[in-house]
Amino acid sequence: MAASAVFDQDEDGIVVVLVDEVPEGEEDHAREAVKLCPSQALRVAEE
Amino acid sequence: MTQAPELPPLHMRRNTFDPTPELREIREAEGVRTVVNAFGMEVFLVTRHEDIKDVLSDHERFSNGRPPGFVVPGAPDVPEEEQASARAGNLLSLDPPEHQRLRRMLTAEFTIRRMKRLEPRVVEIVDAQLDAMEKAGPPADLVASFALPIPSLVICELLGVPYDDRDDFQRRTARQLDLSIPFPERLELQKQGRAYMRSLVERARKQPGADILGMLVRDHGTELTDDELIGIASLLLLAGHETTSNMLGLGTLALLRHPDQLAAVRDDPDAIGPAVEELLRWLSIVHSAIPRITTTDVEIAGVPIPAGELVFVSLPSGNRDPDFIDSPEVLDIRRGAPGHLAFGHGVHHCLGAPLARMEMRIAFPALLRRFPTLALAEDFADVPFRSFHFIYGLKSLEVTW
């Protein structure tokens, strides 16, 4: 997991987003996770 | 008998650890070029990191399925019905949505959490192999005594395949993936493999165990045909031991050739995580993803590709693309190489990646700590690389300590 403060994986292997807003200091991790996600399921909505 | 060609097809050529320089030349020139695959077919070879991601994430235009009437030259004439039965359950020959239907049944078995629970058992398996090596004493063939048995034992337990049957299925899968072996023989081996798996599926139907086959029968038994169960289990068995075993063998050799980095993996518990990723990138043992076929006229890197053409993506080339990573030719275990393509990309991204990572994170440091003086027991020039195989690796590796 590239950003464990932002994402988790449920028992079925589906990605769960843990927070509504990316916590301060986690932005780079979250962006990294979006870039790496092989199923391209993730997007960051910029304010 | 067809004569084995002297050189494997271009996308499989390597000089020990390195992809052939011709791949770099294509990547730096037009990026996409037609080459000839192992069956004499002209295919489009994609070599740049970003282009490879584009192909692998676009299953609508780059399909894993094959249109009706698609034939590989030299393939024996197999009745359509038999072909369909042999294709069933093979996730790598399916596109969404059929692919997702099967893949979703399996994702729960390979989550990061599930892997955490498996860890203690993998530690036991690794320790037992190391005990056996220590008892037998040096020298040893690291492939036969370590790299192959560990992932084989793990996938057998996970899947519910008796490890005692390993001589047969290991021989079958190794030859099935060897492209220098004539097509009819490889097809026959595939048939034998399916017949073997059919017996295990029949048993699991009657008495589903705590393993993946048992889970599939219990939770999805009514949705899956026997052919699909056989296909899924055959793919997992093959993928589970043909891949990680080559990473363990080749990865150990790579570390032996980079003693400072070997010492870091041995002595620093934090080194192994990024080291595994960098070894995956640098070695890229899968030469190319499953060939895609274009469903429409497309353009990659400005090169037009007509509909109905085979597209190969070179994973070693994409992983050594300087637009992806600095100093790509250098093995540097500290960088971790996030975003490498060794497990592929898109919907077919390796299902077993968390398992492979976990096995490697346990096995490499355990080996190096048990035998801190581990060294090659043969000249590097004599190490036999596996050149004609769908997955790159070593035939054997003589070590001492």
- List strand residue ranges (DSSP E) for B281-341, in order: 292-294, 298-300, 303-305, 310-313
Nearest Cα to B108, choosing from B13, B209, B17, B220? B220
Q: What pTM does this model have?
A: 0.93
| Contact assignment for A12 to B108 by CB distance below 8 Å | yes
- How many domains does chain B contain in total? 1
The structural domains of chain A, ordered by start, are: 1-47 (3.30.70.20)
Range of the domain at B262: 10-400
Q: Does residue B1 belong to any structural domain of this protein? A: no
| Contact assignment for B108 to A36 by CB distance below 8 Å | no
Q: How far is CA B15 from the centre of its chain?
A: 19
Which residue on chain B is closest to A34 by alpha carbon? B339
**pLDDT for res B358:** 96
In a mutational test of the A interface, the residue from B99, B345, B351, B355 whose CB has the highest number of chain A CBs within 10 Å is B345
Strand-pairing partners, residue A9, are A15
**Nearest CB to A38 within list B107, B110, B346:** B346
**Nearest CB to A35 within list B339, B343, B344:** B339
Q: Does residue B4 belong to any structural domain of this protein? A: no
Q: Does residue B5 belong to any structural domain of this protein? A: no
Q: Does residue B321 belong to any structural domain of this protein? A: yes
B68 pLDDT higher than 70? yes
Helices (H), ranges, chain A: 27-36
Q: Average pLDDT of B322-347? A: 96
| Contact assignment for A13 to B343 by CB distance below 8 Å | no
| Contact assignment for B343 to A38 by CB distance below 8 Å | yes
| Contact assignment for A9 to B343 by CB distance below 8 Å | no
Q: Average pLDDT of B253-269? A: 98
Residues 6-35 (A) with a CB less than 8 A from some CB of B: 9-14, 32, 35
Specify the CATH number for the domain of residue B203. 1.10.630.10
Share of chain B above pLDDT 70, in %: 99
Q: Average pLDDT of B6-10? A: 88
Which residue on chain A is closest to B113 by alpha carbon? A11
Q: Does residue B64 belong to any structural domain of this protein? A: yes
pLDDT digits (tens, 9 = 90+) for B175-212: 988 988 888 899 899 899 999 999 999 999 999 999 99
Q: Average pLDDT of B147-156? A: 95
pLDDT band with cut points at 50, 70 and 90 for residue B4: low
CA distance A24 to chain B (A): 22
Residues 286-345 (B) with a CB less than 8 A from some CB of A: 338-339, 343-345
A41 at the B interface (CB within 8 A)? Answer: no
Rounded to whole angstroms, what are the CA distances from B187 to B77, B82, B94, B178, B319? 11, 12, 19, 12, 32
pLDDT digits (tens, 9 = 90+) for A1-47: 667 778 877 777 777 788 888 888 888 888 877 777 777 777 777 76
CA–CA dist B255, B248 (Å, integer): 10
**Nearest CB to B338 within list A10, A32, A40:** A32
Helices (H), ranges, B207-350: 212-220, 226-242, 244-256, 259-267, 272-283, 315-319
| Contact assignment for B112 to A36 by CB distance below 8 Å | no
Residue B214 backbone zone (phi > 0: left; psi -120 to 50: alpha; other: beta): alpha
